[in-house]
Structure 1
Amino acid sequence: MSNPASFRDPSNWGDGYELAIEVGSTKDAQLQTLLSALWRAAGVRGCFGRREGEPDEQDEVPCTVASLTEHTHLLGQVRLPTGQLTVCGCTAVRGGDDSSDWLDFYIPTGALDKAGIAYGDGRPFFRSAVIDDWLAGIAMETFHQVPFSLGLVGWMVSGGADASALAGEMPTKRDMGYLLPRGGVLHYGAANT
């Protein structure tokens, strides 16, 4: 039987079903605080820089922006709301001087397939209400510790919107989930198209 928590199995990887968070800053300290809070909120087991070895075959790396920069992705294992343990990862998309950074936490679609999570139903974007709600819950917990500008939930959603363009208004039609702060409270608008 295939194991969705195996690092070595290349079929566990692929595109990501994401919680993408617009940090609202390009400062490493802000990104680090958010990374630490997100890792805790998701309950990620371990922190590794390579897929070529299982967690018990490699040394952990620090869960830091420096490790993220060095390895481009930080990897671990996480328990889905269904109880299945899967691989997961996190990467940063650095915005540069004129835009904010993004922190993307993801479950690869290969691992979701092996865990029996249905997310493709012919719509333009993959959907899984179970994973969407779970990722939104992780975002809510993270936001309680470290406020951020915007969160997006869905398949390959990073950069699909930005907080400044939304100006605090939740879109009526949503191809992905939106987590938008207003008045210090994070509001979740599930995908509805």
Structure 2
Amino acid sequence: MTYAASFRHQSWGEGSYELGIEVGSTEDSGLEAVLVAVWTAAGAEGCYGHGDREPEEQESVPCTVASLEEFGRLYGRVRLPSGELVACEVMVVRCGDDDGGGDWLDFGVPLSALDAVGVRYSDGRPLYRSAVMDDWLAAIAVDAFRTASFSLGAVGWNISGLADAGELGGVMPEKRGMGYLLPRDGVLHYGAAND
């Protein structure tokens, strides 16, 4: 196994290149539908509660909101478009009904795993950017949306909560420092980062 796929060799706290999804509600059923749809669309292997133990050293857990609440994050492995197996994670940010947009689900690959397989994501700009990762994560969102709709998606480095579906009003920003995924007429539209 490579460092990229090893849970113990990841710097989980240093950030992930991620797909952030504004679920659109705070209902566990909606959140769980999006969680399962994203995990399935990504082709994630396994589902585990501990990032400091290898999968072989722990029991798998159900890919559910209850598991997310118990462990804080769920971990697995996923193949990048280039074929490399890397560690991945998913977490939820509970916003509550008062915040308007509902909960956020974040699926991502830690930067340490991307470094281990040589995926470039930094070009000197203030925000990390990788067209390969953006397009791959956007494709996961589009596939997941077919079975579990949501209000907004965004792709980039640590982007969860940086946008709000209510504020966007269904209109794709012209200048985008991250990729946006907005539903319109039952179809999820992707606007790549361009700024």
Query: Could you say whether these structures have the same fold, taking a TM-score greater than 0.5 normalized by the shorter chain as the test?
Result: yes
Instruction: Report the AA paired with residue 185 of structure 2.
Output: G
Q: Residue in 1 aligned with 2:22?
A: 22
Give unmatched runs, 5+ long, in structure 1.
none
Q: Residue in 1 aligned with 2:41?
A: 41
Aligned 8 A contact 2:17 2:109 in 1 = yes
Aligned 8 A contact 2:4 2:10 in 1 = no
Q: Residue in 2 aligned with 1:177?
A: 179
Give the secondary structure class of the aligned counterpart of 1:137: helix
Q: Residue in 2 aligned with 1:57?
A: 57
The whole-number CA distance in structure 1 between the counterparts of 2:13 and 2:110 is 5
The verdict on how the C-alpha distance between 1:80 and 1:38 changes in structure 2, with shifts beyond 3 A counting, is same
| Superposed displacement of residue 10, structure 1 | 3.9
| Superposed displacement of residue 52, structure 1 | 2.1
The verdict on how the C-alpha distance between 1:6 and 1:13 changes in structure 2, with shifts beyond 3 A counting, is farther
Instruction: Kindly report the root-mean-square deviation, in angstroms, between the aligned alpha carbons of the 2 structures.
Output: 1.3
Give the secondary structure class of the aligned counterpart of 1:145: coil
| Superposed displacement of residue 51, structure 1 | 1.6
| Superposed displacement of residue 96, structure 1 | 1.0
| Superposed displacement of residue 133, structure 1 | 0.2
The whole-number CA distance in structure 2 between the counterparts of 1:163 and 1:101 is 12
Structure 1 residues 9-40: Cα deviation after superposition (integer angstroms, max 9, x where no partner): 14476211110000000000100111111110
The whole-number CA distance in structure 2 between the counterparts of 1:115 and 1:89 is 17
Q: Residue in 1 aligned with 2:74?
A: 74
* Match among 144, 149, 152 for residue 151 of structure 2: 149
Give the secondary structure class of the aligned counterpart of 2:146: helix
Count of aligned positions: 193
Aligned 8 A contact 2:25 2:97 in 1 = no
Give the secondary structure class of the aligned counterpart of 2:14: coil
The verdict on how the C-alpha distance between 1:144 and 1:160 changes in structure 2, with shifts beyond 3 A counting, is same
| Superposed displacement of residue 8, structure 1 | 1.4
Aligned 8 A contact 2:11 2:110 in 1 = no
* Match among 177, 182, 192 for residue 190 of structure 1: 192
The whole-number CA distance in structure 2 between the counterparts of 1:13 and 1:114 is 16
The verdict on how the C-alpha distance between 1:23 and 1:12 changes in structure 2, with shifts beyond 3 A counting, is closer
Instruction: Report the AA paired with residue 36 of structure 2.
Output: S
The whole-number CA distance in structure 2 between the counterparts of 1:48 and 1:174 is 34
Structure 1 residues 106-150: Cα deviation after superposition (integer angstroms, max 9, x where no partner): 100010000110000011110100010000000000001111100
The whole-number CA distance in structure 1 between the counterparts of 2:11 and 2:34 is 29
Q: Residue in 1 aligned with 2:92?
A: 92
Q: Residue in 2 aligned with 1:110?
A: 112
The whole-number CA distance in structure 2 between the counterparts of 1:51 and 1:146 is 27
Give unmatched runs, 5+ long, in structure 2.
none
